[in-house]
Each structure stands twice: as C-alpha cells, then as structure tokens.
Structure 1
Amino acid sequence: MPAPPQVRLGRKRALPPCPNPLFLQWLTELRDQAAERGQKTQYVYQKAISSLKKYPLPLQNAREAKILQNFGDGICRILDERLQRHYKENGPDANIHTLPDGGKLPLPARHSNDNNSLAPTKRPSGKERGGGKEKGVARGRKREYVPQKRSGGYAVLLALYRESQIPGGKGFMFKLQLQTEAQHLCDKSFFVPDVGSKYTAWSSVSTLIQKDLVLKTHNPARYSLTELGLALAERLEDGERPTDRGEQQDRRSEVGEEDDGPGVVDLTADEEGEKIEEACVAPEGVLAGLCPSEKPPAVETNSRSSECSLSPGSYDIVLCVDFIETTGGSTACKQELVKELQRNSVTFDIRKLNVGDFLWVARERVSPVQGQLRPPQGRELVLDYIIERKRMDDLCGSIIDGRFREQKFRLKRCGLQKPIYLVEECGSAAAHLSLPETTLKQAMVNTQVVDGFFVKRVQNVKESVAYLTVMTRYLTRLYQNRTLVCRSRELEGDGRNEECGGGERPNPSCSLMSFIEFNQGAVKNKCQTVGEVFARQLMQISGLSGDKAVAILERYATLHSLRNAYEQCHSETEKEKLLSSIQYGKLKRNLGPALSRTLYQLYCTNGALT
C-alpha cells in the first residue's frame, strides 16, 4: 500500500500585517512629506495610519475608510485620487490588497513628445536587477535621511556640530542662539516666513528630532546632537571644507553680488537673513565673515553676539489685541472695542496672544524692496506691559473654576515685568453674581498687594478703550528716544536690572524679547517639564498660591524628591512639619503647619483621604 502524501501544515505565505498595504504606503508617504516640510498634518496622517493598521478587513475604496477613526473627507479624497491613478496605470482589475513589484509601487507614467512613449515606464524585474537575493536586500535597506544643502536642517546640524567642537563649550544651544548661528548657513530665514507661507527654516527641527538626529531637553529648550546626528553633521562638515566654506565667506562678505552668476537677478533673495546679519554683527563688521568655529571664545560665549537692536525713530509702538477680544461671545461689545480704537486713532493689530489680552510691541519700520510684491516683515520687540481684561462676571467664573490663579501664575512667568489687570464693572449686573461682591473686591486687592499686579477698574468698554489709548500714547512718548535691544530670555533670564522708563542717561537701552519668542514661550498646552506639572498639581490645593508653589519647587523640584524627603523623616510629626518652615513671597512668610500637614496627607496617605 503506497504511503499517503505528506501534508504540509501552516500557511504557504505570510499574510501582510495590514490587509490594506497600498493605502498604508500612500499614507506613510504623505506623512513623511508633511514631516519634511514641517507641517502639522504629519500628526493627522500618523493617526490615520494607526487606525488603518488596527482594521482587520480589506477596503475596496477610500470611501469605506470613513468608518475608521481619524479618516476625514480630505484624507479619503486624496486616497481616492491615488487609487484612480493606480487603476489607470495598472488596469481596472489591479489588485489593491497587495503591493506591486515585490513591495514597491510602480513609477508614475513618463510622457514625452514622442507618441510611442506614452506607456508607463516598466520597472526592472528581480533578475534584471541581479537576482532575487539582491532584490530582497535592496528592499530591506532603509534610506538614510540627509538634509539638502543650505536647508534649515542642514544649517541646524552644522551649527550644533561647530558648537560641540569648541573646547570647554556647553554641548548644547538655546533656540535663539541656534537660530542666529545657523542663519548664515541657510538660504531661508529662521525668523520670518516667506511670502505666502507660515513656515520658516526652523520648522525642519521637528524632522531632525523625529529622525533622532537632534535631542531637545529642559525648559527653556536646549538642543544638542545625538550620536546619529553627530556622525551625519561630521560628514556634512567634511563636505563643507575647504572650498564650500570659502565660498560661503565670500558670499557673506559680498552679499548679493554674483551669487547666481553673471546677468541673473534673484527677486526672492533672503532679505531677512541679510537684515539679521547686518543688525547682529559688531559695529565695525570685524566678525561678519567669521564662522562660529573661527570666532574667539570670548565672542562665542558672550550673549551680546546674538543681540539685534532698534534705534530711535526706526520703529512704531503698536497695540496688539488678542483675537478672542474681537470675535465670539457678545459681538456688539467686541465690535464696539474695535470701533472705539479706530475712533481714537490707535495703531493696533489683531492677532493670537497665548497669554494676556493686550500688549504693546515695537515694530520695525521697513521699506518695500525693489522686485518684491510685499515689503519684508519688520522685527517686533515686546514692551514690558501686558493687560489681562476681566469683566466682573468673568472674574467671578474664573475664581470658581480655578482659572484666576492659573492666569496670574502664567502672567508672572511670561517674562514681562508690568502685568496689569483691567477689571470692567457690570453695573447692576454685579449684584447677581454667584460670589459676593466682598469676595471679588478681596480678590482684586490680593492681586494688587500680594501678587504685585496693577489693577485698573473701569465701568464699561469705552473706558477700557480710553485706558488703552492713554497707555499707547504714554508708551509711544516713553520709548521715542530709546534704543531697544533684543536679547533672548533663554540666554539671560529676564535680564532687566534697570527700568526702561528710568535711568539718568539720555538714551538708555531697553532689553526686550522678540514677539515670536514671547508668544511661543507662553503657549498654554506646550510640553511641560516634570517640575511644571508638579507646580500645577500643587496649585489645585486650596490655599496654595503660585508663590507658595514656586517656593516648594525651589526646595523640592519634583514630586519624587519630595517623597524621598518624607521617607527620610523619622516620625509622623516630623513629616507633617517638613514644609512648614519654607518661606515664600516678598515678605518671606512661612507656609505654616496647616498647609504642610495637608500636603503630607495628600502625598503620603494610603487610600482615600478623610
């Protein structure tokens, strides 16, 4: 009796991890393209990719994907367009649940003037490429990311590499310092976006972080190279020496002369980069042609190398109004605000402010450039005055839900020295609030006396606009003969030892932040450090203000360090009194035993609190 044929168990081929690999590959390409351009849509595509990987059934078209999470009309429309193009190139019966040509999409059709070349270009088979083994190796090799020469990523890598090669250097750079040092290595501005775009060369840093080439730590952020980034930057630096660097020095010393060859006029030249260089170099221009690695150590470590100044008469004082103050809610009152500002001839600009409702900037006056449609955007430095506007009902609501303390805490840490609370009375409506009037008055007194804010009380919108008008005219007169200097808050802290309005000298310098740095640093939902999360948690406790939270953080920077301190105590009484002697505020008062006992019970009690 013949032996039965041997039965082969298991699948003949491995199933793909996703039953829709074609859609998955298209979404991956879209995500990578968005990340390369620094666009936030990369996160939308990544969410769609995650949803598609979890879906176990094959899709026949993109419309069926709308049932999945994070698949909107836009993504489905893009996938449908690619699907139609795929059918057109591979036939109406093409299989969309497997990747053609061994895992890679075919090249798009190439057209030429010859009518015989209208067919899509055929990719070589595995044998034509040298056999199936080499084909598998090529498919498994991941393409290395190398930024294009004189792009934002290229300039950032080189600037960080040169900083790391300085003997005794810090090994990291702050944002503004990195932008300034990388600017002359890039053809695009790190500070001002191109016309018609909202992205600068700095947008490429997110790609470098995603590719594990640059490491971002601490707050304020510190940027340094990873091991992969150091190796890549070293190769870029080798390609930069010696010919390319000499060409760059010549280009920096002769800006705009023969950059594109004889007879070529570039109407989209980087005026912003030239403007920043001219404002930031030494007065004699001695350091203008030196690379960072060639500068003396004293110049490299001095933060004044990154200063940019606005001389008297070269800027205007502009009131910035948060767009929330002009849209939504009571439209009539908010439109009245705009009309009153226009009636008073106040120069104002409506924009998004991440903290506060009104502030003032010194905006540089710029002239139109020949050959460009729009004039370049002038630099903006934020004056030290910021206003938070509150109606009485809004003040009442913010006290109840906890926003009042959080807003004061953020205003204190925004870097501006003159915070102002503008409180509008509601007349008879104030008597119908959920908190008594005495409580609201006490909150305003505490804001002025304890927190150090200036509180201005007005009756209505017209009086608010009158106050803004008077403040704008006062600041215009105060700063009209001042030389304003832009310094990074990251490099020098607040750096304001003297008041801008005081001083005996006829023309004192004022050290101010740029508006971009100020607004980015005031983002409410930005990535927070462990210490910042700990501070926000502490401020949720009744009776624990921002000053008290800061005092605790100065002694115990994280919750982990506080728990370790409790564990080192020898008795329950010692644990309860651990924080009682910590001093806070200008008067240096102690936290006291009651609050110390509350914190101990919160963080060291097992089970529910009684």
Structure 2
Amino acid sequence: MSEECANPLLLGWIKEWLDQARERNSKGATVYKKAYESMKACPLAFEHPSQAQQLNGLGPKLCDRLTDKLKAYCQENGLPMPEPPGQANKRTSDSGISEQPAKKPRKAKPYVPALRSGAYALMLGLSTARENSSQGMTKAHLIEVAQPFCDSSFTAPTDPTKFYTAWNSMKTLIQKDLVYEHGRPLRKYALSEDGWEVAKRIQKTLPESAQAMFPSTGRESDSQPLRQGQAGEVTSFHDADEDESAAPPQRRIFNGHTLNNGPTEPITLPPNSFTIQLVLDTRITPQVRAMELGDVMWVAKCRDPTFLSQYGEEGDEIMLDWIIERKRLDDLIGSIKDGRFHEQKFRLRRSGIKNVIYLVEEFTAVHAEAGGGSAAKYQEMVASAIASTQVVNGYFIKKTRNLDDSIRYLARMTLLLRRMYGAYESPEEGLGASQSATAKVSLIPSGHISSIQNYLTQIEELRAKDPSLTYGVTFSTFSALTSKSDVLSLRDVYLKMLMCTRGVTGEKALEIQRRWPTPRHLVEAYMALEPKDREGMVSERLQSLVGRKKIAKSLSKKIAEVWGEGG
C-alpha cells in the first residue's frame, strides 16, 4: 500500500507503529490510524518529516519520531539527511553573497486550560485512569471524577438563560487532539499522547499529597483507575502494588468498563443482593433524574455498590423490564396532534423493554382546554389512540383520576415488583410477604453491546432461552442506547424524516424503509419516474399492505411532494 503514497517511507513507519499499538491493544492505535490515513491520502511529497504537521493527525511529537527514523535510515544507507525547509543555517550563494536564513517560525504556545475550568477538570478526570489503558471513560463516569476539580457544573448551566455547561469544554479538547472519543452506542473518552503531556503538567501544579493520587505521578502508577470519594477526595480503586496481569479476569477493570476478554455471558445477581427502586424523570415532581426514555422506570440497585464494578460495569443499577410513559390528558391530546405520540411509541418499541405502561391522567375540562380544545372535541381521537396503543402496540393502559391517584399506583407497582423479586428496602417491609419469590435479575455485559440492534437481538435470544430471568443493562448503558441524539443510525434518521410528513406513522415509515432502505433509494426511485407518475408511487408499490400500514393515495402524494421534487 505504501507504493501508492507520495511519502512511502513515512507511511511505512507509521504503519509499523500502528501495528505495534494494535498488538499491545494500546489507545495509541487510534492516533496512529488517523495519521496513517492522512499520510496515505496526501498527494504531496515532503522534503522533511516536519512538513507533515500540516496533515490532520500528525502533531510535532509524531513528526519528531519520523525525523529520528529518517536520520537513522539515512545513516544506514549513506544518504544525506535533508534539512527542514527554511530552517537551514546561513548559506552562501554562487555569487558569494551571504543569504539570510528564513525566520524560524514561532513555536505555538502549549495549551494549558484555565485553573478549575471545565477543560482543566476534564483533563484531570481523564488522567485518573492508567496511561496505558486502552479503554475510555463514559460521560457519566468522567463527570463524576472531574466535578471536584471544577468550579462550575457539568450538568446545569451557570447562566440560566444559556445552555452551556462545563461539559462544553470537551469539544475544545477534542478539536485540539488532546482527547479522543470512541465507542457506539456508549461513547467513551480518553487522553491522547499530547493530552497526557498536558495532564501531567497540570498535575504538577497540584499539592504533593494530591499528585500521589494520580497513577501517572504517584506511586500508584500501576494501580487501577481512581474514583471520587465521599468528600470529593480521590482514592485508588485497588491497592497500589497489585499486579494487574496476575489478577483474575473479573478484577481487570478500567474506568468501569469491560475489556474484550471480560464476561461474555449475563451476570445473575445473587439473592438478597439488591433492592428494587423507583426512578422518576426530572420533569415529574419530585425531581430525581433525567431519563432518555419514559417517565417512570424501576431498577435493581445492588446493596454492594462495588459489585458490578468487579465485572467492569459502571454504577450499581440494572434496568428492570417495566417502564411507564405518563400522559396528562392535555399532553396526550397535544402529542397526538404534533406527532410526538407516535414517535414516543416507536422509541419505546426499540428500547427492548417488555412491559410498557401508558399512564393517562384524566383532567377536568379546564385542564383539557390547555390541550387546544374541550375534551369532548377530542374524545374520539383520544379513544382511537388508546385503542391503537393497546391492540397494535400491545402496551398496557392505566387511567388515573389525578396526580395523587398516579402516585398511589406507582407505590403499588413498586411494592409488587419488590415482592416478585423478594427485594425490599428493609426487613420490616418484607414482613408477611411470601418467601417464594423466584424472579431473578441478570445483567447483559455492556462491553459486548455494539449497537441498539445488537442489544435487541441479544435480549430476544436470552429471553427465549430462559424466560424466567429478567435481563437488563446498567442504567447508563440504557440511557445511551435510548438517547435521541447519541445513537441515531442512518436508518433511525431516515425513519424520523419520513414521520415528519403528517400521516406517516411509525408503522408506515417502517414499511417504506423496508421497500426503499435508504433516502437515496427512495429519491432515485422517484427520479426514475416521470413527474406525473411520482404522486402515486408509494401507494401503488405498497398496495399489498393492509390495515394501519396501508398508504392512501393522498398520503402518497404528500410524500412525493417532499421526496420526489427536483430532477
């Protein structure tokens, strides 16, 4: 491959380092891969490796390594070492007139983030990991370890009129190649080689007692990652002198994530090792936690907060198979009118949660007016939506009179689940309850989930294999899998685009996507027809569909107006 490149020697040396990094499973592989691809695609021949700094992914440090390799190569082969352009000493021309060397370019000042800024805290947070670790930190874990080093919040804007938090500094660090991100659907972050240099300089400004807490500066350089203590202090995860290579597989943990050789089979929680807790979305009073999907869910919370970390997992909670989407009557009417109702049902179906409950709070006519009209006016529309949710989607509908009634229902559901799993907050809560609870909870390792489709396939196979177990993932993994923005594949974006056309429900969008897999397929199908034939294309080619999936000619015309224009 190097023969196709304008700089085959430089490309070959980068490839050599890339192969070595991959063999060691080093994080440097990402850096070398980026440099390799840039060098291979470059059509310009460089006189000196320093010129390669203009390429994406090749910084001063990597170019210096290439220069050293070139010097050794020239010495071995008796060749003159080329001089950096514009950097040669003063020369004398043929006329004997002394030529002044070109001015030495000013060296860029190394980037150092401001004290206790977001970037400052993120660099220190990421440096609590081992430098030679090939894994990264999730956003949730990184915020946890970085927050003590920052004066502003990573989750709430300092200025209520703006949306910026300390986390926005991550974009700057990525642009400066100090941090790189990888992993889907659960994004992870790690320091690059240049990032480690900056982080170490920051660490040296800390008190000596604090420096000893970082693996890269203190005696714990061979220890496991560090975690935030109760009072904001940082403590080592394992003893400093513990030999990682001698530890059993389940102890080889990096930043709360499983290695490739970590557990591949589900991890069943031992009896009496967890409690069942109700989790509410922050948009519901009382505010508890922001959730990517649904308004109410339940988790199995381990009594031992370090239990899951033994298997490389983050946190101490596993999602259960129950989720509630709460709708006030006025909100239900509004979501039906603007299409959110169908989009939410579509996302719930792709969440992998088996038991979905729609809780509808019935308000008085005064409340219904807020939804855009009287309840009677929209009674038929609401009844149709509820019937469809029950029959087509298979979701359970629970109607309550008011918020207090809803809270009582949630309390009953929580007690029911605790009895099913024999998991109570206290011994007194379990008094009088049957001791024959057999339901068990099993965790699907997050390190082996590569996409939402991969997750859905795994969970369906596991349920078919052993229906008696409740299979779930950690709360952070579930949030990443169901995020509206972080895990949108081309297929997801395409479906959402189709559903922007009024009348295209989730079922209809799926049928269109099955017939024309990508936006390009759909547009090309329209372009192959005469303009007069485009209006009826979708309805005619999907005429075999029946029921709610059937696409009428009027809707087919609307779709054509969006996708079939031009050409």
Q: Is the 8 A contact 2:326 2:358 kept in 1?
A: yes
What corresponds to 1:542 in structure 2? 502
Task: Describe the SS at the equivalent of 1:547.
Answer: helix
C-alpha distance in 2 between matches for 1:283 and 1:442: 62
Find 2:412's aligned residue among 459, 467, 470: 470
Q: Which aligned pairs between 1:354-393 and structure 2 lie closer than 5 A?
A: 354-366=292-304, 379-393=316-330
C-alpha distance in 2 between matches for 1:235 and 1:584: 63
Task: Describe the SS at the equivalent of 2:288.
Answer: strand
What corresponds to 2:78 in structure 1? none
Task: Describe the SS at the equivalent of 2:500.
Answer: coil
The CA deviation at 1:319 is 1.0
C-alpha distance in 2 between matches for 1:403 and 1:251: 49
Residue identity matched to 1:487:
P
Task: Describe the SS at the equivalent of 1:354.
Answer: coil
What corresponds to 1:448 in structure 2? 390
The yes-or-no answer on 1:405 pairing with 2:342 is: yes
Q: Is the 8 A contact 1:354 1:522 kept in 2?
A: yes
The CA deviation at 1:544 is 0.8
Task: Give the direction of change, closer, same or farther, for the CA distance of 1:415–1:583 in structure 2 (3 Å limit).
Answer: farther
Q: Is the 8 A contact 1:581 1:591 kept in 2?
A: no
What corresponds to 2:455 in structure 1? 493
The CA deviation at 1:525 is 6.1
Task: Give the direction of change, closer, same or farther, for the CA distance of 1:301–1:588 in structure 2 (3 Å limit).
Answer: farther
C-alpha distance in 1 between matches for 2:411 and 2:322: 14
Task: Give the direction of change, closer, same or farther, for the CA distance of 1:145–1:555 in structure 2 (3 Å limit).
Answer: farther
What corresponds to 2:477 in structure 1? 517
Find 1:143's aligned residue among 79, 95, 110: 110
C-alpha distance in 2 between matches for 1:594 and 1:386: 36
Q: Which aligned pairs between 1:213-224 and structure 2 lie closer than 5 A?
A: 220=185
Task: Describe the SS at the equivalent of 2:248.
Answer: coil
The CA deviation at 1:440 is 1.1
Residue identity matched to 2:332:
L
What corresponds to 1:315 in structure 2? 274
Residue identity matched to 1:471:
M
The CA deviation at 1:482 is 1.9
The CA deviation at 1:487 is 3.0
Q: Which aligned pairs between 1:218-233 and structure 2 lie closer than 5 A?
A: 220=185
Q: Is the 8 A contact 2:342 2:505 kept in 1?
A: yes
Q: Is the 8 A contact 1:569 1:575 kept in 2?
A: no
What corresponds to 1:304 in structure 2? 263
| 1:162-217 deviation line (CA, Å, top 9, x unaligned) | 76xxxxxxxxxxxxx7449x99xxxx868766679766999986454222466658
C-alpha distance in 2 between matches for 1:585 and 1:379: 46
What corresponds to 1:604 in structure 2? 564
C-alpha distance in 2 between matches for 1:313 and 1:584: 53
| 1:110-157 deviation line (CA, Å, top 9, x unaligned) | xxxxxxxxxxxxxxxxxxxxxxx99x8575524268999995545889
Residue identity matched to 1:251:
S
The CA deviation at 1:447 is 1.5
CA RMSD of aligned residues (A): 5.6
Task: Give the direction of change, closer, same or farther, for the CA distance of 1:445–1:464 in structure 2 (3 Å limit).
Answer: same
The yes-or-no answer on 1:395 pairing with 2:332 is: yes
Q: Is the 8 A contact 1:365 1:378 kept in 2?
A: no
Task: Describe the SS at the equivalent of 1:356.
Answer: coil
Residue identity matched to 1:285:
P
| 1:46-80 deviation line (CA, Å, top 9, x unaligned) | xxxxxxxxxxxxxxxxxxxxxxxxxxxxxxxxxxx
Q: Is the 8 A contact 1:153 1:204 kept in 2?
A: no
With normalisation by structure 1, the TM-score equals 0.50
Task: Give the direction of change, closer, same or farther, for the CA distance of 1:407–1:291 in structure 2 (3 Å limit).
Answer: closer
Find 1:285's aligned residue among 241, 248, 264: 248
Task: Describe the SS at the equivalent of 2:359.
Answer: strand
Residue identity matched to 1:479:
Y
The CA deviation at 1:359 is 1.2
Q: Is the 8 A contact 1:317 1:475 kept in 2?
A: yes
Q: Which aligned pairs between 1:56-205 and structure 2 lie closer than 5 A?
A: 139-143=106-110, 151-153=124-126, 178-179=136-137
The CA deviation at 1:472 is 0.7
With normalisation by structure 2, the TM-score equals 0.53
Task: Describe the SS at the equivalent of 1:493.
Answer: helix
The CA deviation at 1:452 is 2.8
C-alpha distance in 2 between matches for 1:286 and 1:439: 56
The yes-or-no answer on 1:423 pairing with 2:360 is: yes
Residue identity matched to 1:319:
L
Residue identity matched to 1:359:
M
Q: 353-362 or 405-414, which moves further after superposition? A: 405-414
C-alpha distance in 2 between matches for 1:190 and 1:498: 34
Residue identity matched to 1:565:
A
What corresponds to 1:251 in structure 2? 223
Q: 598-607 or 352-361, which moves further after superposition? A: 598-607
What corresponds to 1:33 in structure 2? none
Gap runs ≥5 in structure 2: 1-99, 114-118, 156-165, 199-214, 307-313, 423-438
Paired residue total: 392
C-alpha distance in 2 between matches for 1:586 and 1:314: 49
Task: Give the direction of change, closer, same or farther, for the CA distance of 1:580–1:459 in structure 2 (3 Å limit).
Answer: farther
Task: Give the direction of change, closer, same or farther, for the CA distance of 1:191–1:554 in structure 2 (3 Å limit).
Answer: farther
C-alpha distance in 2 between matches for 1:203 and 1:285: 38
Task: Give the direction of change, closer, same or farther, for the CA distance of 1:420–1:223 in structure 2 (3 Å limit).
Answer: same
Task: Describe the SS at the equivalent of 1:432.
Answer: coil
C-alpha distance in 1 between matches for 2:127 and 2:544: 47
Q: Is the 8 A contact 1:551 1:584 kept in 2?
A: no
What corresponds to 1:484 in structure 2? 442
The CA deviation at 1:422 is 0.5
Residue identity matched to 2:223:
R
What corresponds to 1:58 in structure 2? none
C-alpha distance in 2 between matches for 1:589 and 1:270: 57
The yes-or-no answer on 1:351 pairing with 2:310 is: no
Q: Is the 8 A contact 1:383 1:512 kept in 2?
A: yes
Task: Give the direction of change, closer, same or farther, for the CA distance of 1:525–1:205 in structure 2 (3 Å limit).
Answer: same
| 1:514-558 deviation line (CA, Å, top 9, x unaligned) | 222333554556696665444333212222112322343455455
Task: Give the direction of change, closer, same or farther, for the CA distance of 1:521–1:604 in structure 2 (3 Å limit).
Answer: same
Gap runs ≥5 in structure 1: 1-132, 164-176, 237-242, 257-265, 293-298, 328-348, 369-376
C-alpha distance in 2 between matches for 1:517 and 1:569: 45
Task: Give the direction of change, closer, same or farther, for the CA distance of 1:437–1:179 in structure 2 (3 Å limit).
Answer: same
C-alpha distance in 2 between matches for 1:586 and 1:520: 35
The CA deviation at 1:469 is 1.7
Q: 389-398 or 523-532, which moves further after superposition? A: 523-532
The CA deviation at 1:446 is 1.0
The CA deviation at 1:397 is 2.3
The CA deviation at 1:467 is 1.8
The CA deviation at 1:605 is 3.2
Task: Describe the SS at the equivalent of 1:496.
Answer: helix
Task: Describe the SS at the equivalent of 2:263.
Answer: helix
